[in-house]
Amino acid sequence: MSEKPLGIKILSALHLLGGILLAFNTIVNAMRFRELEAKLHGTPILAIMLLAYLAVLALSSGIGMWQGRQWGWWLAAFFYVHGIVRFGSYFQKIPAMAEQIKLSGAGIRYLYTIAGLKILASAAILIYLLSPRVWATFGLGKVKRLIVVAGLFGIALLVGAF
């Protein structure tokens, strides 16, 4: 395993920070459960569980990448593939959400723009994680990138189905 690239050190730190913030957000929302339930006219349990899941994924991938562990790379790559799938599915939900909260054309365009930018950012970071230098850093030399990406997308689609 070679020396960690600066990008991996930065990404690890961002994952750790993001994971901490997501964990905090999960706790705050869990404490506001009844208030959220009234606002959403339904249970916010799935949203809180998604926040907790993303917090654990971000924290664990951050720790793993910081330590230069292969599993850290796999979790980080999955984090970004899952983000692409999650925000891609968000695209089809925007019209219904806009109707529910009575958004105008500008508001709808804003939601599409934000979702599109999140997809692009996730894809760019995934491409970085697949770069030869990063690939070598985590000792993934013999693994086929196309098979990895296809497998990660398959898993993300399965996870997203539940």
Q: What is the pLDDT of residues 87-127, one digit of tens each?
A: 998 888 888 878 877 778 888 899 899 999 999 999 999 99
Predicted structure pTM score: 0.88
Per the structure block, which two tokens stand in for 17? 């920070």
Q: Is the pLDDT of residue 142 over 80?
A: yes
Per the structure block, which two tokens stand in for 133? 């230098």
Q: Which amino acid is at 50?
A: L
Distance between CA atoms of residues 134 and 128, nearest Å? 7
Distance between CA atoms of residues 72 and 11, nearest Å? 11
